[in-house]
């Protein structure tokens, strides 16, 4: 039987890697992170964390600093508008823990990462920046790892948390390049007018434009478009191209589009997915986060899935006698939840893209009637799947 605590290497220091390092160190494992960036550098803009993600952050001891640094939308309100700025309907997202955990929080990615990295360091996790893994060999109950700086070390377990373009996938023999989804996303950061406190979704034709507060001072906007795979925009043209792409959006969007200039923080991202079938591990090496299940961002749940992976991985290693059993239980528990999020998110993106010949008035009327129902249905099903996952995680395999 394996001796615990384990000596664990985590490859990648993003959301999944930092959260896993925290969850595993809290359980007494000896953890090391290697991160290929030579300093913590996180592309700007914001991120949504819905209540389920905030619950995981609470388990990692990160909730209070994250709540202080971000912006919790009052009562989880989301206002739908048409592209001219006419309101369509207001929906609310569910809170958690009897209202103690807000329904949606917006936060600057770099801020969220700063909080996670501080906690990683407080817990004594050793972090090696500018380093990656070049070779892995498993033998006699250990994984021998050769790093890019030519050093080597032996670990009980290795966790690949190196994102969508994971090199760890190929190092363990899984060839699965990310799939381009046909969407591009524009994001920009702005000063927040004090009266803009709700999440806003504006419904164009085949395009969406959202606005989300991310702190007392800032908000971010995000716009989705259908884009051919080979679409390329030179970064210095991003502010101008973003403004031109969403020029038909008026109402709450207009002032932020108008503000875009060469000094603005603007990002364009081609949206890709990874849907790895089980098992997500090979021997003593496990893939988590986007490396295993990168989702389109239409439900704003990819980060929350990575946070939950971290919590469940630490739990599985606690419950099960061997890493093989723990990794099998982890994958079996997490797969249905991540698959559900990916499928729902893809469907939202695709429905938004197939609108060229659609009667927009009829579409807006449908949104008015069904938007709240859809939110409720998604979160009800997510809760059921998460409750089932908790049971599966504990079952012997």
Chosen residue from 7, 30, 37, 318 binding ligand FAD by CB under 6 A: 37
Chosen residue from 9, 31, 47, 389 binding ligand FAD by CB under 6 A: 47
Q: Give the range of 176-184, 188-196, 227-235, 283-291 binding ligand FAD by CB under 6 A.
A: 283-291
Residue 156 carries which DSSP code? S
Q: Residue 5's Cα: distance from chain center in Å?
A: 28
Chosen residue from 30, 36, 114, 128 binding ligand FAD by CB under 6 A: 36
Chosen residue from 31, 306, 337, 382 binding ligand FAD by CB under 6 A: 306
Is 312 a binding residue for ligand FAD by CB under 6 A? The answer is no
Tokens at residue 141, please?
């109950």
Residue number, 305 or 326, with CB nearest to ligand FAD: 305
Buried/exposed 143-158: b ≥16 CB within 10 Å, e otherwise:
bebebeeeeeeebbbb
Distance from C-alpha of 148 to C-alpha of 134, rounded to nearest angstrom: 6
Nearest to 385 by CA among 339, 320, 330, 319: 339
Chosen residue from 289, 323, 349, 352 binding ligand FAD by CB under 6 A: 289
Query: Scanning residues 176 to 215, which ones bind ligand FAD (CB under 6 A)?
Result: 185
Is 372 a binding residue for ligand FAD by CB under 6 A? The answer is no
In which residue are the tokens 């599985």 written? 316
Chosen residue from 82, 198, 273, 290 binding ligand FAD by CB under 6 A: 290
Chosen residue from 102, 297, 349, 352 binding ligand FAD by CB under 6 A: 297
Residue number, 135 or 359, with CB nearest to ligand FAD: 135
Q: Is 14 helix (H, G, I), strand (E, B) or coil?
A: coil
Is 341 a binding residue for ligand FAD by CB under 6 A? The answer is no
Q: Is 268 helix (H, G, I), strand (E, B) or coil?
A: strand
Q: Give the range of 93-101, 136-144, 191-199, 296-304 binding ligand FAD by CB under 6 A.
A: 296-304
Q: How far is CA 152 from CA 24, 155, 352, in A?
A: 22, 10, 49
Alpha helix locations (H) across 123-166?
none
DSSP string, 74-114: GGGEEEEEETTS-EEEEEE---BGGGTB-SEEEEEHHHHHH
Residue nearest to ligand FAD (CB): 14
Chosen residue from 55, 115, 157, 161 binding ligand FAD by CB under 6 A: 161
Residues interacting with ligand FAD, by CB under 6 A? 11-17, 34-37, 47-48, 53, 132, 161-164, 167, 185, 269, 271, 289-291, 297, 300-304, 306
């Amino acid at each position: 039987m394996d001796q615990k605590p384990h000596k664990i290497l985590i490859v990648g220091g993003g959301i999944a890697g930092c959260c896993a390092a925290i969850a595993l160190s809290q359980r007494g494992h000896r953890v090391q992170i290697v991160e290929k960036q030579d300093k913590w550098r996180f592309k700007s803009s914001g991120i949504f964390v819905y209540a389920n993600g905030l619950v995981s952050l609470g388990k990692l001891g990160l909730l209070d600093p994250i709540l202080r640094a971000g912006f919790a939308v009052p009562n989880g309100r989301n206002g739908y508008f048409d592209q001219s700025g006419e309101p369509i309907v207001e929906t609310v997202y569910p809170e958690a823990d009897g209202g103690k955990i807000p329904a949606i929080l917006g936060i600057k990615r770099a801020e969220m990462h700063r909080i996670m990295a501080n906690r990683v360091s407080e817990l004594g996790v050793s972090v090696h920046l500018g380093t990656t893994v070049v070779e892995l060999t498993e033998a006699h109950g250990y994984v021998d790892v050769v790093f890019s700086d030519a050093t080597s070390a032996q670990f009980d377990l290795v966790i690949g948390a190196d994102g969508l373009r994971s090199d760890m996938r190929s190092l363990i023999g899984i060839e699965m390049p990310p799939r381009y989804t046909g969407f591009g996303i524009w994001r920009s950061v702005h000063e927040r007018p004090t009266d803009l406190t709700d999440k806003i979704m504006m419904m164009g034709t085949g395009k969406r434009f959202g606005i989300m507060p991310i702190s007392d001072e800032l908000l971010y906007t995000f716009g989705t478009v259908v884009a051919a795979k080979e679409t390329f925009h030179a970064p210095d043209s991003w502010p101008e191209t973003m403004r031109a792409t969403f020029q038909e959006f008026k109402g709450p969007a207009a002032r932020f589009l108008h503000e875009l200039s060469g000094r603005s923080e603007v990002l364009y991202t081609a949206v890709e997915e990874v849907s790895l079938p089980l098992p997500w591990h090979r021997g003593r090496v496990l893939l988590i986060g986007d490396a295993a299940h990168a989702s389109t961002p239409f439900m704003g749940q990819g980060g929350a899935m990575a946070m939950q992976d971290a919590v469940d991985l630490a739990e599985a290693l606690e419950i099960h006698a061997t890493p093989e059993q723990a990794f099998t239980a982890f994958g079996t528990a997490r797969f249905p939840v991540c698959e559900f999020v990916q499928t729902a998110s893809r469907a939202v993106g695709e429905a938004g893209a197939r609108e060229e010949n659609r009667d927009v008035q009829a579409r807006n009327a449908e949104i008015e009637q069904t938007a709240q129902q859809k939110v409720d249905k998604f979160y009800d099903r997510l809760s059921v799947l998460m409750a089932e996952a908790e049971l599966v995680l504990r079952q012997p395999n």
